[in-house]
Amino acid sequence: MTTPHVLVLSGLGINCERETAAAFRLAGATADIIHINALCANTAPLREAQILAFPGGFSFGDRLGAGQALANRIRHRKLPNGQTLLGELVRFVETGGFVLGICNGFQILAKLGLVPNTGGNCIQEVALAENASARFENRWCHLALTQEGPMGFFAHLGQIELPARHGEGRLIFRDETVRQAVIDQSLDWLTYSMADGSPAAGFPENPNGADLACAGLSDPTGRVIGLMPHPEAYVSPYTHYDWPRRRREGRNMIHEGDGLRFIRTLVRLSTQGASPALDRSREEL
């Protein structure tokens, strides 16, 4: 099995690139951090990668809405080959690559129309609007994973915990048609939940007021994945906020954090050579 290679974007306000690259390396991949301007000047590194990661941060300071300015650059700026970076990303996915967007990265993918992309034309179908609380929320969340759809390969992770840190994460749909398509195809693969695994009833379990309590979306292929919480922030049991109490009380300390378990599954999936939407055995992962 070849070791998958990950490109992690940096620059223009992105500020979680080092943590994201470190998490992928812990998960068994090789990872290079590349400035977005360098990738626009030369997209050759993209053709050598299996995963492209858009980390969290505040691209362009979120001055025009979270992720909007960088999404506009990716969609409209012409590259030396005359194409746009969005076009290169579409081809990257079509040829077997995976794209992961975390927090601000998820916001960028949504504004590019890469998720949920139910129409297949990369037109924006959802927005990640200002939190219902009208303030920045920084809290740990219980999260449930779908058992169905293109992200069903991740269902073995069970309920997980990850920290969410954002001011604009309230998912809203463009219209009822898009909302129903997301439900029908199980593209809302990650949802805020109560501690017992039941759907989040409201704040603070749903920290931003997202429709469907949605914390993450994928495209229909399962190759473009976005989520608001930060998996790279929970790679070790000792980065969980409650680890001292757990150790004092003699509770089992898992050997790796839920975020690393998620990223490790993505890394393994990227070596399989098939879309997660295909009917394959989950035991392989």
Give the residue numbers annotated as catalytic, written as ranges: 103, 230, 232
Nearest to 146 by CA among 188, 196, 195: 188
Closest-CA residue to 31 (of 50, 52, 54, 6): 6
φ and ψ at residue 189, rounded to 5 degrees: -75, -20
Q: Residue 18: enclosing H or E segment and its boundaries?
A: helix 17-26
Beta bridge partners of 52: 7, 99
Half-sphere exposure of 23 (CA within 13 A, CB side): 30
Burial 127-147 (b: 16+ CB within 10 A, else e): bbbbbbeeeebeebbbbbbbe
Q: How many CA atoms lie within 13 A of 4 on its CB side?
A: 28
Q: Strands 160-166, 51-54: parallel, antiparallel or unpaired by DSSP?
A: unpaired
Q: Can you tell me whether residue 31 is helix, strand or coil?
A: strand
Given a contact cutoff of 8 angstroms between Cβ atoms, the answer to whether 111 and 101 are in contact is: no
Contact 12, 58 (CB under 8 A): no
